[in-house]
Amino acid sequence: MISQTAPKGEKNNLSFTIAGEWVMEVTALAARMNSGIKPLISSGNVKISLYGEAMPEYAGVAAGVFDLLNEAGIDILLITTSDVDISLVVSSANADRALAILKKAYLD
């Protein structure tokens, strides 16, 4: 999962979601690029993806996901979307609860 923020001055932020065993390799790669990249590493997170071919036919699915997790006090650390999926990263401490909330809302 790769996410880019809107520019802040002359800089953008890029977020990469990678498996824990790749952290050292990615950090070394960033250092070799000599582009002023400053890695901020956050571990203990889980990616949750909602997928549905019919998602484009329903307005507000992403807003509904954000509202549900916000009401539960679950912080979304990273979000990417496409026409047919919403992927988000939450802390592993909140993953089971987030998944249960989303299953109840969208699968029941």
pLDDT, average across residues 64-74: 96
Measured from the Cβ of residue 23, the count of other Cβ atoms closer than 10 Å reads 13
| Chain segment 5-64, per-residue pLDDT in tens | 777 777 777 777 888 888 888 778 877 876 666 667 788 899 999 999 999 999 899 999
Q: Which DSSP string do the residues of 16-54 spell out, in sequence order?
A: E---GGGHHHHHHHHHHT-S--------SEEEEEEE-TT
pTM, 2 dp: 0.77
Q: What is the CATH number of domain 45-107?
A: 3.30.2130.10
Which residues pair with residue 50 across a beta bridge?
Answer: 86
Map out the domains of the chain as residue ranges. 2-32, 45-107
More confident residue, 65 or 22: 65
Question: What is the pLDDT, as a whole number, of residue 34?
Answer: 62
Q: Between 92-107 and 61-71, two packed helices, what is the crossing angle to 10 degrees?
A: 130
**Chain segment 86-100, per-residue pLDDT in tens:** 999 999 999 999 999
Give me the phi and psi of 15, to 5 degrees please.
-115, 130
